Amino acid sequence: MRVLLLYPLFPKSFWSFEKTLALVDCKALLPPLGLITVAAMLPQEWELKLVDHNIQEITESDWDWAELVIISGMIVQKEDMLAQISAAKQRGKLVAVGGPYATTSPQEVESADFLILDEGEITLPMFIKAIEQGDRSGVFRATEKPAVTETPIPRYDLLDLNAYDNMSVQFSRGCPFQCEFCDIIVLYGRKPRTKTPEQLIAELECIYDLGWRGAVFMVDDNFIGNKRNVKLLLKELKVWMEEKGYPFGFTTEASVDLAKDDELMELMVECNFKKVFLGIETPDQDSLALTNKFQNTRDPLTESIDKITRTGMQVMAGFIIGFDGEKAHAGDRIVQFVEQTGIPMAMFSMLQALPSTALWHRLEKEGRLLNSSANINQTTLMNFVPTRAIEDIATEYVDAFWRLYDPTAYLNRIFRYYMKLGEAKNVVSKRPSWKTIRALSLLLWKQGVLAQTRWLFWRNLIQVLIKKPRQLEMYLTLCAYLEHFVEYRFIVKQQINLQLANYMASKPKAESMVG
Ligand code: SF4
């Protein structure tokens, strides 16, 4: 069986970083970890070809070669995913789809022949059996959540490693919390399931042997969901990292209660965790309680962020506007919070009801969901009728986004943040590659010569060089992100304003219902 594994295109988003990736000569931030894990679970005598549409085109010879096309992706990739299903069907191919988008919205991908839903450890064997007995269609679901201890090492060998800025690995699935808007707990449940330390280290050993060095994203949605197991992993990882000379720097996502656990933070720093993404959502306590994010209400958020920052791990955070009952000027409060804490990368979005979440079901019951077929990302208007005027929320959102990524505000914020960031540990000095020298020259040219903020750029850079030389590389990476954010804030403004104008022109009846 010749199988084409196809990863759909991501639209421009907060995380797409095209301009920054161009500086480092990469085509995409992350590889398709889900698809290469699927590849490892298929019969290994099948012939497999991976096409990541984010780094290459799909050619006619790819289509001609394939007997079966497997497509997997997230809701943000839905436009290209639907386009590729139809391209494959037009060419008479058998098509199977899976992954988070297909699992939460199976009715939208029904044109595929096979729907491999939920987690592949259970449903892929059903699909393989069906194909081997000659079936031409089927829907495979699982009510159980599988242990991930038997999940094989993803087929990293199928990747073009040079095309990616980060490699990715996964240690756990699931999260113990119950945020109302979150689809992770719908997809993976509230009982975090972890791999064994040996398993994860074998995956790292595999990418190490393939020659990867540098950034590794631990893609767990909440890496510290099972603190006991994560500490067991980190204790072994620490030894492995030391033996190998610290070949990787990790990024991950975690809940804010990380700040309560000194031992855990220390272990993470010793293992070279450089950045951690926290779902802060909003500084408004009422909104946090209403959305069931109680873990963010237990300790002052600014103190938690400062505590993590002092360990030397850079905090990134997610913010949301548009919660029910939210008071006016929520956008201002978020900007104030980000400025106060100095968080360099604040991912900011309007609240969206993701399919099958608790929020989605509540809004459906209340008749407040809007029929939206749009992609869901930072440039999409809310897909439900909020409790305050949508035009006020959208205006606050665009204004706050604009201010957060104003070049002067951003350069000053990252500078202030780096002045309080704890000392980096395990920095291994290495001879810079040509890729790094090229990226640095381009950055200095763009921000140190061409940009209006060049004087500020040099003034801050010299201070960082003097006071935090060990953090210089990470600091320069943040400067490089500005190339993306400056362009992206225009896109956010333009697209939200356009959608708002269309929305106002056809104001739905539902709005008057909610008031
Ligand atoms: S903490 Fe994060 S992953 Fe966990 S339920 Fe809340 S939003 Fe989802």
Q: Choose which residue among 170, 173, 175 to substitute to test ligand 1 binding: the one with the highest number of ligand atoms within 8 A of its C-beta.
A: 175
288 Cβ inside 6 Å of ligand 1: no
**Running DSSP on this structure, what letter comes out for residue 183?**
S
Give the Cα separation of 284 and 22 in Å (integer): 37
For every residue of 25-51, DSSP letters joined together read: T-SBSS--HHHHHHHHHS-TTSEEEEE
Q: What's the gap between Cα 316 and its chain centre?
A: 11
Q: Are 461 and 496 in contact (CB under 8 A)?
A: no
Give the Cα separation of 427 and 491 in Å (integer): 37
Tell me the pLDDT band of 374, cut-offs 50, 70 and 90: low
Phi first, then psi, for residue 329 (nearest 5°) are 70, 25
Tell me the pLDDT band of 378, cut-offs 50, 70 and 90: confident
222 Cβ inside 6 Å of ligand 1: yes
Enumerate the CATH 3.20.20.70 domain ranges in the chain, comma separated: 166-372
**Segment 56-74, tens digit of pLDDT:** 999 999 999 999 999 999 9
Q: Choose which residue among 170, 184, 294 to substitute to test ligand 1 binding: the one with the highest number of ligand atoms within 8 A of its C-beta.
A: 184
174 Cβ inside 6 Å of ligand 1: no
Tell me the pLDDT band of 269, cut-offs 50, 70 and 90: very high
182 Cβ inside 6 Å of ligand 1: yes
Q: Choose which residue among 221, 224, 281, 304 to substitute to test ligand 1 binding: the one with the highest number of ligand atoms within 8 A of its C-beta.
A: 221
Measured in Å, residue 341 CA sits from the centre of ligand 1 at 21
Give the Cα separation of 220 and 208 in Å (integer): 20
CA distances from 158 to 5, 62, 154, 214, 350 (A): 10, 15, 9, 19, 36
224 Cβ inside 6 Å of ligand 1: no
Measured in Å, residue 279 CA sits from the centre of ligand 1 at 7
For the whole model, what pTM was predicted?
0.94
184 Cβ inside 6 Å of ligand 1: yes
185 Cβ inside 6 Å of ligand 1: yes
**Running DSSP on this structure, what letter comes out for residue 59?**
P
- Residue 345's closest CA among 474, 219, 494? 474
8 Cβ inside 6 Å of ligand 1: no
**Where is 281: in which H helix or E strand?**
strand 273-281
Measured in Å, residue 281 CA sits from the centre of ligand 1 at 11
CA distances from 485 to 77, 186, 480 (A): 21, 31, 9
**Segment 465-511, tens digit of pLDDT:** 999 998 999 999 999 999 999 999 999 999 999 999 998 888 755 45
Residues in the chain: 515
**Segment 291-340, tens digit of pLDDT:** 999 999 988 999 999 999 999 999 999 999 999 999 999 999 999 999 99
Q: Are 170 and 281 in contact (CB under 8 A)?
A: no
Measured in Å, residue 432 CA sits from the centre of ligand 1 at 38
Give the Cα separation of 57 and 306 in Å (integer): 44
Structural tokens at position 21: 């990736």
Q: Are 256 and 294 in contact (CB under 8 A)?
A: no
Measured in Å, residue 27 CA sits from the centre of ligand 1 at 29
177 Cβ inside 6 Å of ligand 1: yes
179 Cβ inside 6 Å of ligand 1: yes
Nearest CA to ligand 1 atom 8: 182
* Predicted local confidence at residue 330, as pLDDT: 97
Share of the chain above pLDDT 90, in %: 89
Give the Cα separation of 257 and 219 in Å (integer): 18
Ligand 1 atom nearest to CA at 221: 3
CA distances from 235 to 193, 270, 285 (A): 18, 9, 36
Measured in Å, residue 298 CA sits from the centre of ligand 1 at 15
Enumerate the CATH 3.40.50 domain ranges in the chain, comma separated: 2-140
40 CB neighbour count, 10 Å cutoff = 18
CATH for 166-372, options being 3.40.640.10, 3.20.20.210, 1.10.1370.30, 3.20.20.70:
3.20.20.70
Q: Which residues pair with 348 in a beta bridge?
A: 319
Ligand 1 atom nearest to CA at 295: 1
Nearest CA to ligand 1 atom 6: 179
Measured in Å, residue 365 CA sits from the centre of ligand 1 at 23
**Segment 25-59, tens digit of pLDDT:** 999 999 999 999 999 999 999 999 999 999 999 99
* Predicted local confidence at residue 336, as pLDDT: 97
Q: Is the pLDDT of residue 103 over 50?
A: yes
* Predicted local confidence at residue 512, as pLDDT: 43
Q: Does domain 2-140 have CATH number 3.40.50?
A: yes
